[in-house]
Amino acid sequence: MDPLQNDETSSLYLIGILVSVNIAVFLFEIASPIRKPDFELFSLPLLYGAKINHLIMVGEWWRLVTPMFLHAGICHMTLSCWAIVTFGPQVCKGYGSFTFFLIYILGGISGNMISFLHTADPTVGGTGPVFAIIGAWLMYQIQNRDVIANDASDDMFRKAIIVTTLGFILCNLGPIDEWTHLGAALTGMAFGFLTSPSLELNDASSGGSGGQEEGLKLVRKHGDSCKSLIVFTIFIIALSSLLFFMEPPLNALAAEDLECM
């Protein structure tokens, strides 16, 4: 029981840290407003960390990573944190804390990358990692559907629908891109398909003074951390290679600036 308790404790710490980082960055956004009513990015973190295509093309590559911690308002941030707290423990329990962290980072990067390649609008991607987590959770449910309780799965599936619906609504209310959500979700599902551990039902028996009791024992297996890291690296290389074969869209003003340079 001690290793199990330690793993659950580390998972809670990791989830708490990710939620705290998201909240802290959002508070910094509120504390550093940019007073330009015609400017869509309204704070310093968004100004220097949001996905802006033409700035990425001139060398600001960190903008493919930093948007995963940025949010476009209190509703966006609340949805992100609620989804992390809701689905994070489930994914940590199934895949392990380390693989959960890789899924979170990979979802953020892949969502920003897909957004970079499909839309010219400046965007933030704080809910991108959330959709990767949901995608990985969904693959875990599918691959272990024979041994997972349907009632619990149905409840989580309804919550996934709520997150998806609210995410779609928010895409129409601020610098949030549906390509980020789609790219992160598909990446999470693909990563989950390749790394999802399996649950097994093994025969279990216990002897006693009155005889022997027989039954089934649920054996939970965490994902292989080394395998997860290898798959993560392959995904990052594959996503990076897209930059050499696809031209990102630019708005008219940014295109003119690049031509002048």
**Contact call for residues 129 and 88 (beta carbons, < 8 A):** no
The pLDDT tens digits for 53-75 are 989 988 899 999 999 999 988 99
138 or 36, which is more confident: 138
Return the pLDDT at 216: 47
User: What is the topology classification, in CATH, of domain 3-199+221-245?
Assistant: Rhomboid-like fold (1.20.1540)
H helix intervals, 96-172? 97-118, 128-143, 150-170
Are 111 and 128 contacting, i.e. CB atoms less than 8 angstroms apart? yes
The CA radius of gyration of the chain, in Å to the nearest whole number, is 21
Cα 205 from chain centre:
41
Percent of the chain predicted with pLDDT > 70? 79
Helix (H, G, I), strand (E, B) or coil at 174: coil
Match 């006693």 to its residue by tokens: 208
- The residues, ordered by sequence, that sit 6+ positions from 86 with a Cβ below 8 Å of its Cβ are 156, 159, 163
> What pLDDT score does 5 carry?
62
Query: Using one digit for the tens of pLDDT, what is the confidence trace for 20-53?
Result: 999 999 999 888 877 655 555 577 888 889 999 9
Least confident of 56-60, 86-90, 174-178, 219-223: 219-223
Mean pLDDT of 116-144: 92
Q: How much is the pLDDT for 15?
A: 95
Q: What percent of the chain is modeled with pLDDT above 90?
A: 49
pLDDT over 50 at 209, yes or no: no
Q: Considering the chain, what is the average pLDDT of its residues?
A: 83
Max mean pLDDT among 15-24, 40-49, 151-160, 190-199 falls in: 15-24
The mean per-residue pLDDT over the stretch 117-131 comes to: 91
Q: How far apart are CA 222 and CA 97, in angstroms?
A: 9
| Separation between Cα atoms, residue 82 and residue 103, nearest integer Å | 17
Domain ranges of the chain: 3-199+221-245
Q: What is residue 174's predicted lDDT score, i.e. its pLDDT?
A: 80
Q: Rounded CA gap, 253 and 53, in Å?
A: 12
Quote the pTM value: 0.86
197 has a pLDDT exceeding 90: no
Question: 12-16, 83-87, 243-247: which range is least confident on average?
Answer: 243-247
The per-residue pLDDT for 74 is 92
Least confident span in 139-143, 164-168, 200-204? 200-204
